[in-house]
Amino acid sequence: MIYEVREYVPVAGRLGDVIDLFKTEVVPLFGKHEMELVHVGFTTLGDNSFNELIYTMRFRDLAELESKWAAFIQDPQWNAAFSEREKSGPLYRAIRRRVTDAGPFDELLT
Protein backbone atom coordinates (compact mmCIF):
# COMPACT_ATOMS: atom_id res chain seq x y z
CA MET A 1 0.00 0.00 0.00
CA ILE A 2 1.05 3.56 -0.63
CA TYR A 3 -0.41 6.75 0.79
CA GLU A 4 -0.56 10.14 -0.86
CA VAL A 5 -0.72 13.18 1.39
CA ARG A 6 -1.93 16.41 -0.22
CA GLU A 7 -1.77 19.84 1.39
CA TYR A 8 -3.73 22.79 -0.03
CA VAL A 9 -3.05 26.31 1.24
CA PRO A 10 -5.75 28.62 -0.10
CA VAL A 11 -5.33 32.22 -1.17
CA ALA A 12 -6.37 34.58 1.65
CA GLY A 13 -10.13 34.59 2.06
CA ARG A 14 -10.72 31.47 -0.07
CA LEU A 15 -10.71 28.71 2.57
CA GLY A 16 -14.51 28.48 2.48
CA ASP A 17 -14.43 28.02 -1.29
CA VAL A 18 -11.79 25.28 -0.96
CA ILE A 19 -13.87 23.44 1.65
CA ASP A 20 -17.03 23.74 -0.45
CA LEU A 21 -15.27 22.48 -3.57
CA PHE A 22 -13.83 19.54 -1.65
CA LYS A 23 -17.15 18.53 -0.06
CA THR A 24 -19.45 19.06 -3.04
CA GLU A 25 -17.26 18.05 -5.98
CA VAL A 26 -13.99 16.37 -5.01
CA VAL A 27 -15.31 13.76 -2.57
CA PRO A 28 -18.10 12.59 -4.92
CA LEU A 29 -15.56 12.38 -7.76
CA PHE A 30 -13.27 10.29 -5.55
CA GLY A 31 -16.18 7.84 -5.24
CA LYS A 32 -16.85 7.91 -8.97
CA HIS A 33 -13.19 7.09 -9.72
CA GLU A 34 -12.91 4.54 -6.87
CA MET A 35 -10.29 6.59 -5.03
CA GLU A 36 -9.99 5.85 -1.31
CA LEU A 37 -9.94 8.86 1.02
CA VAL A 38 -8.58 7.81 4.43
CA HIS A 39 -8.23 11.16 6.20
CA VAL A 40 -9.13 14.81 5.78
CA GLY A 41 -8.62 17.74 8.13
CA PHE A 42 -6.91 21.03 8.93
CA THR A 43 -3.48 21.74 10.31
CA THR A 44 -4.16 22.84 13.89
CA LEU A 45 -0.57 23.30 15.04
CA GLY A 46 2.29 24.39 12.81
CA ASP A 47 2.66 26.19 9.51
CA ASN A 48 -0.64 27.36 8.00
CA SER A 49 -2.64 26.49 11.12
CA PHE A 50 -6.37 26.58 10.36
CA ASN A 51 -5.70 27.73 6.80
CA GLU A 52 -4.69 24.49 5.13
CA LEU A 53 -6.75 21.54 3.94
CA ILE A 54 -4.89 18.25 4.18
CA TYR A 55 -6.06 14.85 3.04
CA THR A 56 -4.63 11.38 2.59
CA MET A 57 -5.48 8.83 -0.10
CA ARG A 58 -4.61 5.12 -0.20
CA PHE A 59 -3.59 3.24 -3.36
CA ARG A 60 -2.25 -0.25 -4.10
CA ASP A 61 0.77 1.12 -5.96
CA LEU A 62 2.05 4.04 -8.06
CA ALA A 63 0.42 2.70 -11.21
CA GLU A 64 -3.02 2.81 -9.58
CA LEU A 65 -2.34 6.28 -8.18
CA GLU A 66 -1.32 7.61 -11.59
CA SER A 67 -4.18 6.04 -13.52
CA LYS A 68 -6.87 7.14 -11.06
CA TRP A 69 -5.56 10.70 -10.82
CA ALA A 70 -5.33 10.89 -14.62
CA ALA A 71 -8.99 9.89 -14.90
CA PHE A 72 -9.97 12.38 -12.18
CA ILE A 73 -8.09 15.29 -13.79
CA GLN A 74 -9.63 14.55 -17.19
CA ASP A 75 -13.18 14.27 -15.82
CA PRO A 76 -15.36 17.02 -17.37
CA GLN A 77 -17.23 17.40 -14.08
CA TRP A 78 -13.96 18.24 -12.29
CA ASN A 79 -12.84 20.68 -14.97
CA ALA A 80 -16.18 22.51 -14.91
CA ALA A 81 -16.31 22.70 -11.10
CA PHE A 82 -12.72 23.89 -10.77
CA SER A 83 -13.07 26.47 -13.55
CA GLU A 84 -16.25 27.82 -11.96
CA ARG A 85 -14.53 28.22 -8.56
CA GLU A 86 -11.57 30.05 -10.09
CA LYS A 87 -13.65 32.62 -12.01
CA SER A 88 -13.06 35.12 -9.22
CA GLY A 89 -9.34 34.30 -9.00
CA PRO A 90 -7.03 31.48 -7.96
CA LEU A 91 -8.05 29.23 -5.08
CA TYR A 92 -4.62 28.06 -3.98
CA ARG A 93 -1.50 29.83 -2.80
CA ALA A 94 0.38 26.52 -2.55
CA ILE A 95 -0.22 22.82 -3.16
CA ARG A 96 2.14 20.18 -1.83
CA ARG A 97 2.03 16.42 -2.05
CA ARG A 98 4.06 13.44 -1.01
CA VAL A 99 3.70 9.71 -1.48
CA THR A 100 4.72 7.32 1.26
CA ASP A 101 5.22 3.56 1.09
CA ALA A 102 3.90 1.65 4.08
CA GLY A 103 5.24 -1.69 2.76
CA PRO A 104 7.76 -2.47 5.51
CA PHE A 105 5.17 -1.47 8.13
CA ASP A 106 1.99 -3.06 6.76
CA GLU A 107 1.80 -5.64 9.54
CA LEU A 108 1.82 -2.82 12.12
CA LEU A 109 -1.16 -1.09 10.53
CA THR A 110 -3.68 -3.91 10.31
Q: Which sign, positive or negative, has the C-alpha torsion 87, 29, 97, 19?
A: positive
pLDDT at residue 84 in the model: 94
The rounded percent of the chain whose pLDDT value lies above 70 is 97
Q: How many CB atoms lie within 10 A of CB 99?
A: 13
Q: What is the separation of C-alpha 94 from the centre of its chain, rounded to a whole number of angstroms?
A: 13
Say what the pLDDT of residue 30 is.
98
Domain 2-108: which CATH number of 3.40.50.300, 3.30.70.100, 3.20.20.10, 3.20.19.10: 3.30.70.100
Chain segment 20-58, per-residue pLDDT in tens:
999 999 999 999 999 999 999 988 887 777 689 999 999
* DSSP annotation of 71: H
Residue 110 confidence (pLDDT): 64
pLDDT of the residue at 106: 76
Beta sheet of 36-42, edge-to-edge order: 36-42, 53-59, 2-10, 92-101
Helix, strand, or coil here: 9? Answer: strand
